[in-house]
Structures are given as C-alpha cells and as structure tokens.
Chain A
Amino acid sequence: MAVMNNVEAVRATLHDALATDDRTLILGEDVGNRGNVFLITKDFINEFGPERIIDTPIAEASIVGIAVGMAMEGLRPIAEIQFADFIYPAFNQIVGEAAKTRYRSNGEYTCPLVIRTPYGGGVRGALSHSVSIEALFYHVPGLKIVAPAFPADVKGLLNTAIDDPDPVLFLEHKKTYRLIKGEVPEGHYTIPLGKANVLKEGSQLTVVSYGLYVHWALEAAQMLNDDGLSVEVIDLRSIRPMDRGTILASVRKTRKLLIVHEDNKFGGIGAEISAMVAEEALFDLDAPIRRHCAPDVPAMGYALPLEEEYLSSPAKMADAMREMVRF
C-alpha cells in the first residue's frame, strides 16, 4: 500500500482510468497545459494528448453540456469544474439535462458522466472559493453525489463513479487535498455508492458527517474519549444515495444523533437525515436531534475571524457533542 494525500489519490485514479479505457477523457479549464490548478492532471496532456485532456474555454455550461453529449454518444467524459463556486452556470446542464437524460428518453439515451469539483473552505478562499454545493444538488433525482474524506475512499469511490452508468457529482474538499494522507490499496478496486463508514464505534452519541468535518469530528470524539465519553462517528462518503441502514443501526444503539456539516443548516444535508431518523426511529431517541452547521449567511468571509466564525472546529464540535451526551 502506498501512502497518498487526496490530490495524489484523485490523480492516480484518473490516470488509471485514462490508461485503461480510451473512451475516457477529461475536459475543463486549465486541465491540460497547467495540469489543473491543484496539479491533479499535471503532465496528463503529454501522456494522453490534447484530444483526451481538453483545455476548454471558460464556459461551465458547455463544459458539462458537451460532456453530456459525449456521454450520450458512448464516451466516458470526466468534466472538471475548476472550483465548485463556478458550477452555477452549469446548473441547467446538470439538473435539467444530465439528470434527466435516462428518464426522459426512457433509457434510450444515458449519461455516464463524472463531474469533479473542489469545494469547501478553511483555505482563506473567501466568498468565491469556499462554497459547499451539495445541498443545491442532492434534491435532484437522477444525480448521484459523492464526498469522500480519505484517500482510499477517493480512489474506490472515484473508480465507482467513473464506471457508473449515470451522472455522478464528485466533490473533493480542497482543504483535505494535501492535509489528509492515508494508505491507498494497490490495484483497481471500487467502493459502492451509498455505503457509509463507521470510523469510530461508540455508545452514547452518533455523529454523522462527511468531507473535512469527518476529520474534525474524529478529533472531537477523541477529546470526549479522553473524558470517558463514547461517541460513534459515521462518514457518509456518499450523499445521494445515502446509507440509511448504517445511520439507523447506530442511532438505535446510541439513542442520540448529532449531524455536523460545513454547509449552512437550513435545507442542508442534515435536514434530510433528521427527517429520515424522525420518520424511522423517533421512539428510539433519548434526545432531540441536533445539527451543528454553518450560520445562515451567503458565504464564508475572507477575513480570518469571519472564516473561523463560519467554520466549526474540533473544539466547537467537542462542545456540541458533550452537550448531547449529557442531555
């Protein structure tokens, strides 16, 4: 097993996909000559050629729309949106077109397409290089959404996304890109979408998260552990489809649920999880469900205090967890 960070895991997986299937190509802004702004596709253009590593004009709607047309005609495009903050011009093509291709043609045409994009904050990215976009898309049937936190999951889930016969939005938390390192198994493997991972077992509280916050939630749970409190931490990994069974089994055991996410609370992923648990397991709960999320503001500010106030932290999460355990 090799130790990689998340950038290296994305890069290695893309490289394997390009090397093994010539239907695969990458299109996006600065993916060729520059090799992506985070150097994920560095030198791919030399190895695979400009026909497969396409530096597009700055035109997000057509980056996705052209990929949709390629996918309909039998290619396996991987479209990149340089930062998630710039995905809005492509909303129509993702929600109105990619997600509905199979349904509206009753399966005659399909859209096997991966859209990768770095999202999330904590890197002093200000208003337009920090957003979380998952809640804007997880409402949409026909789409799948993945948000891995660890390099090994990045590889397994990206392989699955590339093989998937339907459009997948692949969200890469940019703060985890170089911060998070881990062992990545050799060879080709896949991890099914819709399977959460219980990262730490515990008995007094279930904490559900994804992305960067999974790492902070683990740190926070460790702090509580040191005080003799036992918290279970679940990494969703996949947001649509989502793993109901793992969440419910855990909640039925710990009888308390805290959801933590970087995105703001109102209408966020936590809302759907809360509703599902309330529908399925209300009488198994010993405390109200809580959501620990960003404040209801349009975006993360540039000034350090604004960014810090927007974000949680392991310490803030530990406080929220303690409150729940004591309830």
Chain B
Amino acid sequence: MPSSHTTPSTFDRAGLSGEQLVAMLRTMLMQRTLESRGFQLNRQGKIPFASASEGHEAVQAGAAMAFVAGSDILVPYYRDLGLDLGIGLSPYEVLLSLFARAADQSAGRQFPHHYASKRLGLHTISSVIAAQLPHAVGAAYALAYRKESGRAVLVTFGDGATSEGEWHESLNFSAVHRLPIVFLCENNEWAISTPLDRQMGQPDLWRRAAGYGMPGIVVNGMDPVACYVAVRDALDRARSGGGASLIEAKCYRFLSHTTDDDDRTYRSPQEVAQRRKDDPVPRFEESLVAAGILTSAELASLKATILAETNEATDRAEAMAYPKSEEITTNVYAGSHEPWR
C-alpha cells in the first residue's frame, strides 16, 4: 500500500467543502486532545485506566464524515473515540466516561469509550473482541427487513478481531443476505503485542472479501479524505441495496495498547519513530493550511478552543458524582432485580 503523502498541490477534496474539511480536522484534534487528557488524568492518579487511538484519527474522521447521524447506525469498537466524536458525542460525555461518573452513558459501569446512545445511533458494545459484529449484522437485517432503504450500518474493529469466528460468521451472513452494512477494519498492525504476521498468513485483509462475495477495498488509513471516500462509497452502496463491503484502512498504533501496557517490551522505539512520520494529524493540518482552507492563525485558535473545551469538560465532569452504591442493581432486568420470587 503506497502511503502517498498528500501534497498540497494535488490536494483532492473529494467534493468536501472547506467547512467539512475543517470539521474533520477538528474531530482529529479533539480526539487527540481528549486522549492525552485521559493519559494525564491516569498519570495524576485521578482515573484508573485510559487508552488512545493515536494513528487512527484519519480513518475515524473520514468515516464519521461519511456517516449520516440520525439515520445510519454505528457499531464501533473501543478504539474509536474519533468516530464517536465525529458523529456527535460531546467532550463532556467523553470526560464523564473517563471519570466513570453517574451521568456517563453506562452510568459508570463500562470502561472508557464504550458509549451507548440511541440519539446518535451509537450501539452499546462490550470489550470482547469481535462480539459486536453479529449485533451490527442483526441491526442491518432489521433495516433491510423493515425496508428502511437509505439507512446503513457501519461496524468497525481492529486487525485482531479478524481472527475471531464471529468475524467470519458476520461477513458470511451479510453476504448471503446482501445486507446494508460496511465492515471497516482499522488495521494498526498490532493486536496488543502480536504483530500482523503472527495473526494471519496473508496480510491484505481486504482480499478476504472476495471469499465472501463482497467488494473489498483497501485505503491509506493515514489519509482522512481517502478514508472518507472509501466509507462514503461503501455506505452509499449499502444504502441503495448494493449489499455489504469490507474496507481495510491501513493505519498504525503510535502508543502503547493502553495505560496498562508498555509497548517497549515488544516493539522498538525506532519502529514507532519511523512510523510517526506518517502521523495523520500534523499532515492534515499542513494540507489544509497549504491549500488555503485554514490560516495558521485559525488553526492556532481552533487548537486553543479545543483545549479550552477539554479543560472545561474535565472540570465539569470531575465535579460530577460517582454512581451511588445502591445503583448497582438497577437495569439488570426491566423490573426489579430478584432471582428468587
């Protein structure tokens, strides 16, 4: 996969307005700022755990731009903060999740970045790899069954998820029924400490699509516009009765898996430094400035606004209450929770 540097002179907007391009950059910057905040809070001992998706910003901002909020359904995985933000999640909701407050969407039950919002079309997920894929297929079946054409499901996962049986079962069933669904793999080359060549004998995941009888698309996951185009086309195909697609976005994980992991134990800092040159965030900033879509001053002020929003959201969420201990038994079942009657 040629990771062609998007040079300003050949900058292709793919029909996106300046406003939309800036919105994508905003999502990417917000994602990065909020995730740094998570790591800071963890180092300060204020939260027990944080994770980050540095290296995934382009694919997520691109995919979010192709998603139609209020109509499409997103079934994400845990490393999708940018996608969640891009479809409408607020920084305050992110901080509530990091702080595990009562007002968090899971009421403080879930790990960070496991949201659930019908308003946003954002499905609840567990941390169990690939378990969300069949749910996405079921949701797509529901859309097809009710003949709600014009709507589609976007489901995301890492390269590691593609080894699970549920991954195979989900692609297979979707192909049989030509369901309105897009499978988007964020291939960052690592599953915690396990590199791609220990996960699969053939590293081009998109090629598997042919085996299921659906289109397979590969895209430079460091290029937000290219990712937007790939996801837009696949979602359009799904929305108009063209069935399922598999997209592989080749990106990279710049940081450790989570705050509980130390990537120096299994990969070299040189490798990571080398790949940092592909960092999609500064590159997209440069592209937009060079193309005259954003001035340097506007970029600086955008960053300042994002930091201010993050600070404000941090203070506001931190001041919120933890869930009450008696809340532990709510929402086990619809009614009261009592195994004995």
Contacts from A to B (Cβ < 8 Å): 25, 51-52, 56-57, 59, 61-62, 64-75, 77, 89, 92-93, 96-97, 100-110, 141-142, 144, 164-166, 193-195, 240-245, 276
**What are some 26 contacts across the A-B interface (CB < 8 A)?**
A57-B173, A65-B135, A65-B137, A65-B138, A65-B170, A66-B134, A66-B141, A69-B75, A69-B134, A70-B142, A72-B123, A93-B131, A97-B128, A97-B135, A104-B116, A104-B126, A106-B106, A106-B330, A106-B331, A108-B116, A110-B334, A142-B332, A144-B333, A164-B334, A242-B340, A242-B341
CB <8 Å contact, A241 and B341: yes
CB <8 Å contact, A75 and B128: no
Q: Which residue of B lies closest to A142 (CB)?
A: B332
Residues of A with C-beta under 8 A to B137: 62, 65-66, 69
Residues of B with C-beta under 8 A to A71: 138
User: How far is B332's CA from A142's CA once the two chains are assembled, in angstroms?
Assistant: 5
User: How far is B340's CA from A285's CA once the two chains are assembled, in angstroms?
Assistant: 20
Q: Which residue of B lies closest to A167 (CB)?
A: B333
Residues of A with C-beta under 8 A to B142: 69-70, 73-75
Contacts from B to A (Cβ < 8 Å): 73, 75, 105-107, 109-110, 114, 116-118, 123-124, 126, 128, 131, 133-143, 145, 165-166, 169-170, 172-173, 176, 330-334, 337-341
Q: Which residue of B lies closest to A276 (CB)?
A: B340
CB <8 Å contact, B134 and A109: no
Residues of A with C-beta under 8 A to B105: 105-106, 108
Distance in angstroms from A189 CB to nearest chain B CB is 19
Residues of B with C-beta under 8 A to A97: 126, 128, 131, 135
Distance in angstroms from B313 CB to nearest chain A CB is 20
The residue from A59, A73, A106 contacting B107, defined by CB atoms under 8 A apart: A106
CB <8 Å contact, B332 and A104: no
- A-B interface contact total, Cβ < 8 Å: 156
Q: Which residue of B lies closest to A106 (CB)?
A: B107
User: How far is B105's CA from A109's CA once the two chains are assembled, in angstroms?
Assistant: 11
User: How far is B123's CA from A298's CA once the two chains are assembled, in angstroms?
Assistant: 39
User: How far is B170's CA from A93's CA once the two chains are assembled, in angstroms?
Assistant: 13
User: How far is B126's CA from A25's CA once the two chains are assembled, in angstroms?
Assistant: 25
Distance in angstroms from A141 CB to nearest chain B CB is 5
CB <8 Å contact, A105 and B124: yes
CB <8 Å contact, B169 and A69: no
CB <8 Å contact, A25 and B341: no
User: How far is B136's CA from A62's CA once the two chains are assembled, in angstroms?
Assistant: 11
Residues of A with C-beta under 8 A to B135: 65-66, 68-69, 72, 97
Residue in B128, B135, B338 whose Cβ sees the most chain A Cβ within 10 Å: B135
CB <8 Å contact, B331 and A62: no
CB <8 Å contact, A68 and B138: yes
Residues of A with C-beta under 8 A to B114: 104
Q: Which residue of A lies closest to B124 (CB)?
A: A105
CB <8 Å contact, B172 and A59: yes
User: How far is B105's CA from A104's CA once the two chains are assembled, in angstroms?
Assistant: 9
Distance in angstroms from B175 CB to nearest chain A CB is 10
User: How far is B85's CA from A243's CA once the two chains are assembled, in angstroms?
Assistant: 47
Distance in angstroms from A228 CB to nearest chain B CB is 34
Q: Which residue of A lies closest to B136 (CB)?
A: A69
The 5 closest A-B pairs by CB, nearest first: A69-B138, A65-B134, A194-B341, A105-B116, A69-B135
Residues of A with C-beta under 8 A to B138: 65-73, 75, 77
- Supply 18 further A-B pairs (C-beta < 8 A) apart from A57-B176, A77-B138, A109-B118: A65-B133, A65-B135, A66-B135, A66-B170, A69-B139, A69-B141, A72-B135, A92-B131, A106-B331, A107-B331, A108-B118, A142-B332, A142-B333, A144-B333, A240-B339, A241-B338, A241-B339, A242-B340
CB <8 Å contact, B340 and A59: no
Residues of B with C-beta under 8 A to A89: 165
Residue in B117, B131, B140 whose Cβ sees the most chain A Cβ within 10 Å: B131
Residues of B with C-beta under 8 A to A166: 333-334
User: How far is B143's CA from A75's CA once the two chains are assembled, in angstroms?
Assistant: 10
Q: Which residue of B lies closest to A247 (CB)?
A: B340
Residue in B137, B142, B172, B332 whose Cβ sees the most chain A Cβ within 10 Å: B142
Distance in angstroms from A203 CB to nearest chain B CB is 25
The residue from A65, A74, A106, A243 contacting B341, defined by CB atoms under 8 A apart: A243
User: How far is B334's CA from A91's CA once the two chains are assembled, in angstroms?
Assistant: 22
Distance in angstroms from B184 CB to nearest chain A CB is 17
CB <8 Å contact, A104 and B334: no
Residues of B with C-beta under 8 A to A243: 340-341
CB <8 Å contact, B332 and A102: yes
Distance in angstroms from A18 CB to nearest chain B CB is 13
CB <8 Å contact, B124 and A62: no
Q: Which residue of A lies closest to B145 (CB)?
A: A51
CB <8 Å contact, A242 and B128: no
Distance in angstroms from B141 CB to nearest chain A CB is 6
Residues of A with C-beta under 8 A to B141: 66, 69-70, 75
Q: Which residue of B lies closest to A141 (CB)?
A: B332
